[in-house]
Structure 1
Amino acid sequence: MSVDSPLVTPPEDEATLLARAQALAGYTLGELALRAGLAIPADLRRDKGWVGTLLELHLGASAGSKPEQDFAHLGVELKTIPVDSQGRPLETTFVCVAPLTGNTGVVWETSHVRHKLARVLWIPVEGDRALPLAERRVGAPLLWSPSPEEEHQLRCDWEELMDLIVLGQVERITARHGEVLQIRPKAANSRALTEGIGENGQPIMTLPRGFYLKKTFTAPLLARHFLL
């Protein structure tokens, strides 16, 4: 079976998708990998997307590596999130690549970040590094859309970060910028450069950047859902 071919057909509606995700809760990644015929990597350092790929196969995702939502026909994005034994997120959550050029006239309403976060199926997965990958369990899923307050937080950060990019300040952006959303380099190595805009409007070569949700955003989101 190719990694891109799902174990099941794409879900016809949100209820089917959520039921499938609920059915995975409690299983270990090893059990699910065996069922999918997917080899388990030694660790996730070189296979960051492995857990997401495994769950996509079981849920019937169709997007693969395309830049649309994982369940584009439903408008739902899948986000796996590694959590500790208390259900708290262990790391930031990648949203999408940050566009560094061609941003004239971009607005929040039509942004890729808003599109990706409009409807999210969160699936927590045990992430304690001391626990072998095959023994980590999948948690109960959450189907979520941002509340008006959450959307306001995201929008404010997105606008601030995009202003810095447009004004040629991309090299000055640090992970501390943004209350709930941050921009960080996203590259396999320091040689993977992309075009950006410098301080004087000139083209520069810089590391690709990605938008990430901070733990200060995802922790309360999970806590409210799971009543932590």
Structure 2
Amino acid sequence: MKGLIRFDEVNVQLKQLFDKASALAGYSFAELAAEQGMVVPKDLRRNKGWVGQLLESALGASAGSQALQDFPELGVELKTIPLDANGKPLETTFVCTTPLINVHELTWESSNVRNKLQCVLWIPIDGRREVPLAERTIGTAFLWQPSAAQEAQLKADWQEHMDKIALGEVESITAHQGEVLQLRPKAANSRVLTDAIGANGEAIQTLPRGFYLKTQFTGQIIRDTFNLN
């Protein structure tokens, strides 16, 4: 079964997780943070991952910063998606960091992108900047798996990016490339560097990169899920 997961087809633990996530709908960040003993920051400019951490705490995610799904025992990844008043995603969705060396033997089937996206618990959140962070609310959670067509799109973009990395072209890749999956720098600041392959096969230092789902891809998932025009 691909696409939205029907609950008569999932195991009991997965349904329990889904029910727990569903019960969060309508909570404000302030209400949930109080339950979790967390402090709501003034904004997310210096606390970009705070909402994800709040929901991970509430749902008992166990992977932390490891290269695993957030619920590895269930094979489920947790992703929040900030939406505007019309249900449109306000930003791209981080999937995972990108390997930049020893990439020649990597395949889509064994990639961390595929692993992370094989089953996603999406939690829409109010992303409107004009609403104070503490007052923003949590939306209706849903479970999703990529269809064959969606996986084909993801695989094609992943392969194109990884081919360029292997050829030493990592620094020429822009966020505009890829139909649904983009590659772009992911670092706390420009002083954070990592090893990569240079144009002549030499070792170079560059900014770490991350894979991100483009908003037109996640927007289509939202429209399909909630029957939005």
> Smaller-chain TM-score range?
over 0.9
1:126 maps to what in 2?
Answer: 126
Identity %: 59
Q: How far 1:194 sits from its partner (Å)?
A: 0.5
What secondary structure sits across from 2:23 in the alignment?
helix
2:217 maps to what in 1?
Answer: 217
Q: How far 1:57 sits from its partner (Å)?
A: 1.2
1:6 maps to what in 2?
Answer: none
2:24 maps to what in 1?
Answer: 24
1:96 maps to what in 2?
Answer: 96
TM-score by structure 1 length?
Answer: 0.94
1:179 maps to what in 2?
Answer: 179
1:57 maps to what in 2?
Answer: 57
After TM superposition, list the pairs within 5 Å mapping 1:98-113 onto structure 2: 98-113=98-113
Q: Over aligned residue pairs, what C-alpha RMSD do you find?
A: 1.0
What secondary structure sits across from 1:109 in the alignment?
coil
Kindly indicate whether the alpha-carbon contact (under 8 Å) linking 2:26 and 2:137 is maintained by their aligned counterparts in 1.
yes
The answer on 1:15 being equivalent to 2:15 is yes
1:5 maps to what in 2?
Answer: none
CA distance in 2, matches of 1:197, 1:60: 38
Amino acid at match of 2:208: P
Q: How far 1:162 sits from its partner (Å)?
A: 0.3
2:8 maps to what in 1?
Answer: none
2:82 maps to what in 1?
Answer: 82
What secondary structure sits across from 1:13 in the alignment?
helix
CA distance in 1, matches of 2:15, 2:205: 45
Gaps of 5+ in 1: 1-10
Amino acid at match of 1:180: V
Amino acid at match of 1:97: T
CA distance in 2, matches of 1:65, 1:71: 12
Q: How far 1:43 sits from its partner (Å)?
A: 0.7
Q: How far 1:139 sits from its partner (Å)?
A: 0.3
CA distance in 1, matches of 2:49, 2:211: 16
Amino acid at match of 1:167: L
What secondary structure sits across from 2:109 in the alignment?
helix
* C-alpha distance 12-37 of structure 1, shift in aligned 2 (>3 A): farther
CA distance in 2, matches of 1:158, 1:66: 21
Kindly indicate whether the alpha-carbon contact (under 8 Å) linking 2:67 and 2:112 is maintained by their aligned counterparts in 1.
no
What secondary structure sits across from 1:81 in the alignment?
strand
What secondary structure sits across from 1:176 in the alignment?
coil
2:71 maps to what in 1?
Answer: 71
TM-score by structure 2 length?
Answer: 0.93
Amino acid at match of 2:132: P
CA distance in 2, matches of 1:103, 1:147: 26
Amino acid at match of 2:17: L
After TM superposition, list the pairs within 5 Å mapping 1:151-162 onto structure 2: 151-162=151-162
1:202 maps to what in 2?
Answer: 202
Aligned residues: 218
What secondary structure sits across from 1:121 in the alignment?
strand
After TM superposition, list the pairs within 5 Å mapping 1:33-44 onto structure 2: 33-44=33-44
CA distance in 2, matches of 1:178, 1:46: 28
What secondary structure sits across from 1:66 in the alignment?
coil
Gaps of 5+ in 2: 1-10
Deviates more, 1:61-70 or 1:188-197: 61-70
